[in-house]
Amino acid sequence: MKAAMARTPMRPPKTPRAAPMPSAQAPPMTEGKRRDLSGGKQQPQQQDPVNVFCRVRPLPSDGDLTCMRVKNSTTIAVNPQDQHKLLQNGAQREMQYIFKHVFQPDATQQDVFASVAQPLVENLVRGRNSLLFTYGVTGSGKTYTMTGNSRHRGVMPRCLDLLFRTISDYQAKKFVFKPDKLNGFEILSEEDALLERQQEMNQRFAGTGRFAFRRKESDPEIASQASVEPTPLSVLDEDNMYSVFITYVEMYNNSVYDLLEDSGIQKSLQCKIIREDANHQMFVHGVTEVEVKTVDEALEVFQMGQKRKRMGNTVLNAESSRSHSVFNIRLVQAPTDCQGEHVVQDKQNITVSQLSLVDLAGSERSSRTKNTGVRLREAGNINNSLMTLRTCLEYLRENQQQLGPNPVAKKIPYRDSKITHMFKNYFDGEGQVSMIVCINPRIEDYDENMQVMKFAEMTQEVQIARATPIKPDLGLTPGRRKANKLFKIAVNNLNELGIPEAKQLEMDVGLVYSLGADFPHYQMDSPETESKIQELMEYLEQRIDKRRKLRANMDLKCDNFRQLLMNLDRDNLQLRTELASLKAVYKQERDRSAALENRVRIHESSIDVLNNTVSKRERQIQELTHKLNEQEQLLSQKEQEKEKQKKKFNSKLAVESDKNKREFDQKLREQRVKMQERMRIKDEKLRLVSNILQSEDVPSLPRSQSSEDLLNDKNRDRDHDRGAFTARTESSVPPTTRTDIYCTPRHGLAAANNRHRRSRSAGDKWLEHRAANPVPLGTIMQPYLKNRKSVTKLTDMKQLTDHGATKYCLVSQEADTDGDVETKLYKGNVIPTCGGGAQVVFEDVECLRQKSPVHSPTRKRPSNSNLSASAFGGPLPSTGLTSVQDVASRCNLGIEGHSSKKSKI
């Protein structure tokens, strides 16, 4: 698809304006359309076609079918929806469309911006108007291309970033340029601008200003910073002051709404109207224009309007734009005064350029979106406005392509839609128009894409007049602002050096001697000769007056320059005299400083020697101090070891003395018990003898039976009557020895029969816990437990529960006071616990040991209080758990005791 050749329009465009002027006074005419003074005809103006770019969206998934193929950077081929349909000659039907540039699916946002939007920003800085809009079906990526998202910036934020990086050092203070509500601007003085800034600051602190809480309301929908910082443009005029104003409106259901309007959350937006200003420029009446100074501030204002933009959910797009949005960036610039510090207070010198970024809503079919109700009405209005845009461009193309002596121009219906009515100046006037056609290459969107391609093909044939901005010529020196800045820097440097004459320096970067523009072309054979002569006379009078002013200014400057030269000559002579005297003084001071330097060198060498000596002494002191500290540490360690040994010796001595005392007391008690036993035996013998003597009938005893044996038999019979139990064991010892085993009585009750108890528990399962290598007793009677399992080490409760034992026996062997082996049997019941474990409750203790018989005529049964001493040779653990705990600790078994006879593990 190639663009059509430029044709001469039948109706010449109106005289363009570089900036909308608030007053009805006519500005100077442009060079491209300056009227001929003789004939009154307009010279032809250069025209450019609408630049149409194509961007192909990536497929959502690899399995989707596509109906388009990118052939090269400018050509795209569209295949039919049905790949099997062939023409009559058998060739496949394929259509090719040519654009200015085709962005493939892998193209980045930076590539699109550099090719499409960067030239428009250059036009904005130069003072030209530009229009960029995205067109395509719904879900083709128009909003992503224009705005972007939180990761990739779109065209709009990149334009703002490049613009502010270009004018960063040349921005005017806020409120120097103020909108006049009629699409124009006026210049405020420094005092008025300061009052406006203070008032805005007070409103922001009070929270009543229009944008007092923008930072809280903003959302991070757009990336805060670009991945690659753009290079500032070099087309900037450094002698001008710049300010940026933005507006944000939307066309919803063919009505215009201001998205930045100062209205509450509950209040709905008011519909705006489109008007024409004094310079025939279309604008939205009463729209909010916000002056911004940074990119972040501009994006915050955009986010405020974005929240009010109408979005909807459709079948084809989750976030579909239901209105056309227009984001206008207006750059206001004006020249500075002769010193390059303040803006010239003349609004006729203001130049206003505008960049309009339009995000058109996507065209859609109700048969695919299944819209109903409000969504169906929105879709109808969107399609009608897009159809009006296509109609206007088609009629404009036909009017431009008409040839012949009497062409008939069609009336273009700009007023049928708000979007075409608002941008009527671009199509009928001058500027640069670019369009990005967004394509979704899926086979399902074939019909919609074909309509978009036809519209793009037709749009490229429309010609737009090239803008020729007018820059005011004040006759001021170019580069005066930079020169004045450098002069101030130099004066500040001189002041820092302490030169008092720096404050009196003056610099004049005033007028350049120029009489203005070239003399206009004229012819004297025109029928309007008299009026042209009158205009020439006025023009000559203006130039003569300007020449007179310039000559007077030049004479004044010459006089000032002559006076300055005389002053400089006088100062030069004085300075030469002072210089000669200063040279003599300088020579003397130089000689004196040389002598002082020699003395300083000598002193420095001596100081170095002293420093070396001091450093050596300090190192020696450090070494000695270190050695002294080590000796002190050794002494302290020895003292500590000595104190430890002393304490250890004292503690050991105390332990030994306590042990000896306890052993002495124990032996004393044992001797006392033995003596008491002997006395008891003697008393018994005496009682028996007295009974025999007093008895009248004494039975005759065999000769072999002695009185002592008789006494022992009687004692045995008496003990049997009382219920006591005595077991006699036989071993390899002589027959005279005998061992008595008694059971410990329980709180004064009769002792149980151990052998009888073992027979009762024959049905129980015993767990016998004994030492690894027990000492053999050497006796015939051995502890016997039926259905038992012997273990040598018990470390886990599972060993009690896994074997199914119901009885537990702990076997302990120790040496008694006489050195004989003593075996103790601690018996108990195994009781399961609620937590899944088990506990052992000790309820019986048996003590087995060998003991020689005592030869005594009589033998009494020991009482309960002395039973433990006579049977076991020491205190039993029935009244306490000390012995049981000691035995259990030696057998690796934990014991949990309490005050009763029973014990738990």
Closest among 223, 266, 256 to 108, alpha carbons compared: 223
DSSP state of 763: G
Report the Cα 62 to chain-centroid distance in Å. Answer: 33
290 token code pair: 């916000």
Handedness of CA 525, 527, 528, 529 (dihedral sign): positive
Would you say 139 is a known binding-site residue? Answer: yes
Q: Contact 680/860 with Cβ under 8 angstroms?
A: yes
For the beta carbon of residue 381, count every other beta carbon within 10 angstroms.
19
Q: Which two tokens stand for residue 103?
A: 């962005």
Question: In terms of DSSP bridges, do strands 432-439 and 51-56 run parallel, antiparallel, or are they unpaired?
Answer: parallel
Task: Give the whole-angstrom CA distance, residue 803 versus residue 810.
Answer: 16
763 labeled binding residue:
no
CB contact at 8 A, 727 and 741:
yes
DSSP letters for 443-496: GGGHHHHHHHHHHHHHHTT-EEEPP--------BPTTHHHHHHHHHHHHHHHHH
Dihedral sign (CA 364, 368, 369, 371): positive
**CA torsion sign, 469 to 470 to 475 to 480?**
negative
H, E, C per residue of 226-257: CCCCCCCCCCCCCCEEEEEEEEEEEEECCEEE
Contact (CB, 8 A) for 67 and 79: yes
Among 76, 448, 97, 60, smallest CA distance to 68 is for 76
Contact of 448 with 67, CB cutoff 8 Å: no
Residue 142 annotated as lining a ligand binding site: yes
H/E segment holding residue 126:
helix 118-126
Contact between 452 and 137 (Cβ < 8 Å): yes
Cα 585 to Cα 92, 268, 590, 591, 900: the distances in Å are 102, 85, 9, 10, 116
- Residue showing tokens 């003569």: 544
- The reply to whether 356 sits in an annotated binding site is no
Q: What distances in angstroms separate CA 369 from CA 252, 310, 372, one per listed residue?
A: 19, 17, 9
**Does 141 count as an annotated binding residue?**
yes
Cα–Cα distance measured from residue 842 to residue 881, given in angstroms and rounded to the nearest whole number: 10
Q: 766-769 and 788-791 as β-strands: parallel, antiparallel, unpaired?
A: parallel
Q: What is d(CA 805, CA 142) in angstroms, rounded to the nearest whole number?
A: 85
3-state DSSP call for residue 436? Answer: strand
| Backbone dihedral angles phi then psi of residue 283, each to the nearest 5 degrees | -155, 160
- For residue 316, give the DSSP letter: S
**Residue 140 marked ligand-binding:** yes
264 phi/psi in degrees, rounded to 5: -70, 175
**Single-letter amino acid, residue 218:** S
Nearest Cα to Cα of residue 369 among 445, 317, 441, 442 = 317
Angle at 861 between CA 859 and CA 866, to 5 degrees: 115
Residues 6+ apart with CB under 8 A from 748: 864
- SS3 readout for 19-41: CCCCCCCCCCCCCCCCCCCCCCC
Q: Is 136 marked as a binding-site residue? A: yes
Distance CA 767, CA 838 (A): 13
Instruction: Give the chain's end-to-end CA distance (angstroms, integer).
Output: 100
Q: Identity (one letter) of the amino acid at 288?
A: T
From 315, 330, 180, 346, select the one nearest 243 (Cα to Cα).
330
* Residue 788 phi, psi (nearest 5): -115, 165
Indicate the annotated binding residues. 136-143
Indicate the annotated binding residues for ATP. 136-143
